[in-house]
Structure 1
Amino acid sequence: MRSPLPVFRHSRRAIALAAIPVLIGIAATSAGAASAAGTKAARAPQAAGWVTTWSGSAMSPTPLASSVQSLNDQTVRDIVYTSAGGDAVRIRVTNAFGDAPLTVRSATVARQLRGAALDPATTHRLTFGGGPSVVVPKGGSVLSDLIRMPVPALSSLAVSLYVPGSVTQATYHQYSQTTNYLAGGDHAADADGVAFTKNVSTWFLLDAVQVRSHARGTIVAVGDSITEVQQQRDDNSRWPNFLARSLAARYGRNAPAVANQGISGNRVLSPSACYGAALVTRLDRDVFSQPGVREAVLLEGINDLGFSQEPDTGCFTPNTDVTPQDLIDAYERIAAAAHAHGVRILIGTLTPAEGYSYWSATAESKRQAVNAWIRGNHVYDGVIDFDALVRYPGHPELLDPRYDSGDHLHPNAAGRQAMADAVEPALTR
């Protein structure tokens, strides 16, 4: 495996840019005053020891992407993989894209035993404001009360939510590559998992699991499928998973939490019915509202360039011909927003994609221009040259075959491990 490439660090220059729009009305929980333009960004403080050990960006359901968009008197059992451990846990229930208030009648959290089965010794009923049920407003989210429960780092938890009645538009995260479960009726507390007869690859109604921890804050990886995907279902081999394991081995219980906010197909500038809200509109919910957030790693933009070559229909709508300057302007706005929230932010160069279905010579020319700006920019706190790390020597438009998953866009497990290895030296200690 190659040694990690050097990480380039820059001081921020003053920038005066319009604020990034907020998609939904969730206030950021990161404390800390906005740093003045042109000065070093203050580190976001930890929120009473809480960090986000797992996350999955909320999405609006659509029949274009999934056969399951609604729930009817069902219990969902979401399986999540932790990064940092802690001595207490709470969850964030999301109704960000619901078309009506959402009622959760009962909820539990437990360690996963196998499949839909729970470890009964660790099963705890969750409460909300002291009660067993909660109504989540349309477009909002609600935190559960804390449960004192040992949560090991790098372990699988099951979060079960019983939703009575009909939910016609259930907020979800579509492409989890994780086996999750549905049961008819209220089976939130069932440990044996027998009632959970339907498997789905979607996380429903849950977008964050938080732990009270000695962890050194939360690191948010924000991006598209290159950040989201893994080798195969349930193997937890995304590059943020590799990073979390490496940090745990190095720092033990003080290792930072790693929250993955990747969405397959996601774009920086444009939303999609299939691929989620535009990145510039989901930052408050996905990044700045995470407790203890201190750093973010941004790797996104390849779909903005590639989709520019696609027809303006279906999942590609709305579609515009994105220029390098369009992306650069957005990157500057994102950096400004991060620094205003006291978050240190790193940016990665866009990795090769020639041979992928949407790629073209025009898109490649744009990618090279964008990467040239990323490497020389002075608004981010660091640059991670993912492109130089995974490209084929002598053929910069291609993924190195050693790192190619086979589709010529997504790195394989070795490539994702190399990416994590390159990120770690860039993080603050």
Structure 2
Amino acid sequence: MRLLRALVVSLFLLVAAVTAPAVTAAGAGWTSVWTTSAQMPSKTMGPSWSLEGFSNHTLRQVIRVSQGGLATRVRLTNRYGTGTLAIAGGTVAVTGTGADIRPDTLRPLTFGGAAEFRIPAGAELATDPVPLPVAPFQSLTITLHLAAPTGPATHHAQALTTSYRATGDHRADAAGTAFTETTQSWYYLSGVEVFEVLPQRSGVVAFGDSITEGVGSTVGADNRYPDELAERLAAEGIPRAVIDQGIGGNRLTVDSSWLGASAQRRFQTDVLEQPGVGTVIILAGINDIGLSAAGPGAADTVVPVSTDQLVAGHLDLIRRARAKGLRVIGATLTPIDGSPYFSPAAESARQALNSWIRTAGAYDAIVDFDAALRDPANPRRFAPQFDSGDHIHPGDAGYAAMAAAVNPADFG
């Protein structure tokens, strides 16, 4: 059995090496099983190393895949770098506890066979295929040694899990004792892919803002709604990769240096270029509504956006997704009463956009997250059991309810 597995892995790696382009976000035969959306180096809603960057550091980051495979590769990004990013070395392994890894699973990350490689400013690359069998819902630890000063770092601000930093080269350490600094952001990571001989294009992208990102869920527990949806599909015997492309504070129509490029601007890289994807669920617009008037956040984030502009933005995403052959599911905006975003005007705009999503027939299907989470006694508010406490983000039970509201038949 062990010899058979080795032969199968060798075949996967051979086919992968032949078919996969060297520098790309996509590639024939590969399926995205974990992703995160890149953001500019900036201030964040918590402690972050993005503005200071790294110098003579080892960065250790933990992710969880939504589907398994026999061959794996990691996508690294320098999308918002101002200079070339030098990777002095990297590894991937199955996660142990905290910053520990399972040493028997440790594998080097290479590019073109080289342990040291560079990523030009504005670019990303996929590492060489790695012969590391990965099981569905397995946690992987990706470790990067950054010897030379990086400058400000492309990152994802709210990872909702812990990343670790050590001084010096600790890429091969099994124990995490050297990793004494922590943050809750990801850096330079774009995605993890597994190779499929016969790709199905069955993957699902959850695309949106902090509610898609999972803010309000338990940190480190992988209880975001995309995580819950992947687990539900697997339990029902219809497993699919489900990837999360949410950014906290992100808007459909407005770019921001710290809340991310607008959904319209990042849709190409975060959805249309993802390999193995067949469906996208779009939950977008609540931050455009909430930040149309002075309220939470910095004053420079306030940009008035009309319902007509939001409808036009949704139609733009639908058109582009269909042009790539994707199924497009529209999600209604969840309640905001009790949050800093709430006002009579904001509630009117939310209801107007939800009415359009439900009745216009523009989407292939809809998922009514509003109906799934609202309080029957006061439909403008979350049901108490689904509220994280801030009255705008669900808690763990709310994210489970969102996953339960999705109809798998809508994936086609």
> Equivalent residue for 1:350?
333
> Equivalent residue for 1:289?
273
Percent identity (aligned): 39
Taking the aligned partners of 2:44 and 2:133, their CA distance within structure 1 comes to 40
Taking the aligned partners of 2:44 and 2:383, their CA distance within structure 1 comes to 33
> Equivalent residue for 2:165?
182
> Equivalent residue for 1:258?
242
> What's the CA shift string for 1:284-326, capped at 9, x where partnerless?
1111111111111111111110011226973x53432111111
Taking the aligned partners of 2:144 and 2:207, their CA distance within structure 1 comes to 26
> Equivalent residue for 2:292?
308
Taking the aligned partners of 1:410 and 1:313, their CA distance within structure 2 comes to 16
1:242 and 2:228 matched? yes
Q: Give 1:426 deviation, angstroms.
A: 4.3
> What's the CA shift string for 1:37-63, capped at 9, x where partnerless?
xxxxxxxxxx31x21111110011213
Unaligned runs of 5+ in 2: 1-22
The alignment of Structure 1 onto Structure 2 pairs a total of residues equal to: 384
Q: Give 1:396 deviation, angstroms.
A: 2.0
Matching of residues 146-225 of structure 1 within 5 Å: 146-213=129-196, 216=200, 217-225=202-210
Q: Give 1:250 deviation, angstroms.
A: 2.3
> What's the CA shift string for 1:151-186, capped at 9, x where partnerless?
011111000111121111111101111011111122
Taking the aligned partners of 2:305 and 2:146, their CA distance within structure 1 comes to 41
Q: 2:353 aligns with which of 347, 350, 370?
A: 370
> What's the CA shift string for 1:248-283, capped at 9, x where partnerless?
2223xx721111001111111112222111111111
Q: Give 1:349 deviation, angstroms.
A: 0.5
Taking the aligned partners of 1:131 and 1:424, their CA distance within structure 2 comes to 45
Deviates more, 1:415-424 or 1:261-270: 415-424
Q: Give 1:231 deviation, angstroms.
A: 2.1
1:68 and 2:54 matched? no
> Equivalent residue for 1:10?
none
Q: Give 1:358 deviation, angstroms.
A: 2.3
Q: What amino acid is the match of 1:222?
A: F
> Equivalent residue for 2:263?
279
Q: Is the 8 A contact 1:90 1:146 kept in 2?
A: yes
Q: 1:29 to 1:126 in 2, by over 3 A?
A: closer
TM-score normalised to structure 1 length? 0.86
> Equivalent residue for 2:401?
418
> Equivalent residue for 1:51?
31
Q: What amino acid is the match of 2:125?
A: V
Q: Give 1:365 deviation, angstroms.
A: 0.5
Q: Give 1:29 deviation, angstroms.
A: 3.6
> Equivalent residue for 1:333?
316
For the aligned residues, what is the CA RMSD?
A: 1.9
Taking the aligned partners of 1:415 and 1:300, their CA distance within structure 2 comes to 18
Deviates more, 1:399-408 or 1:101-110: 399-408
> Equivalent residue for 2:16?
none
Taking the aligned partners of 2:167 and 2:247, their CA distance within structure 1 comes to 28
Q: Give 1:372 deviation, angstroms.
A: 0.8
Q: 1:312 to 1:139 in 2, by over 3 A?
A: farther
> What's the CA shift string for 1:69-124, capped at 9, x where partnerless?
21112111110011001111100000011111111111110000111111011100
> Equivalent residue for 1:320?
303
Q: Is the 8 A contact 1:102 1:135 kept in 2?
A: yes
* 2:158 alignment partner, SS class: coil
TM-score normalised to structure 2 length? 0.89
Q: Is the 8 A contact 2:334 2:370 kept in 1?
A: yes
